[in-house]
Amino acid sequence: MAGERKGRFCETRQAWLDKTLSAQPDRPTLLFIHHPPFDVGDHYVGGYRRPEEAGALEDIVDQQPQVIGTLCGHVHWPVNHAWAGTQARIMPSIAVDVRKGIDETEARGRPVYMLHRLSRVTGLVSQARTAEE
């Protein structure tokens, strides 16, 4: 729908993701998606146009233990959240005017980004960094 800012995960994409993940069950995997498939406080609730699509995504990921992390955007707020057996992360926006949840006394108006490291030993480790001037 025009102007709508909600996520979609149609049946075609569901089948593709399930098939793709099932093809390599021993390969540690990070899933990158734009819209978080879970609520974030009062700020972001019901982020998918059809709630059953978010539920389908959760069901697929929950059945794939090789998916270690789910990395999301859209909310512009650094969040760590357990979801579907993964460590979910929402990355802050590098755009200063739309980001939330960043200590501006430390960031001082500079872009903030995240580095992620996936290891069999430590799992997913994420660290926020501030761009240097």
Q: Does residue 104 form part of some domain?
A: yes
**Number of structural domains found in the chain:** 1
Identify the H or E element spanning 12.
helix 11-23
**Residue the block writes with tokens 């270690």:** 68
pLDDT in tens, 28-69: 999 999 889 998 888 777 777 788 888 999 999 999 999 999
Q: Are 124 and 69 in contact (CB under 8 A)?
A: yes
Q: Does residue 14 form part of some domain?
A: no
Residue 29 DSSP SS3: strand
Alpha carbons 93 and 78: distance in angstroms, whole number:
9
Distance of CA 61 to the CA centre of its chain: 12
Q: Are 99 and 121 in contact (CB under 8 A)?
A: no
Q: Does residue 7 form part of some domain?
A: no
pTM of the model: 0.82
Q: What is the span of the domain harbouring residue 97? A: 26-130
pLDDT in tens, 73-120: 888 888 899 999 999 999 887 777 777 777 777 777 788 888 999 887
Q: Does residue 10 form part of some domain?
A: no
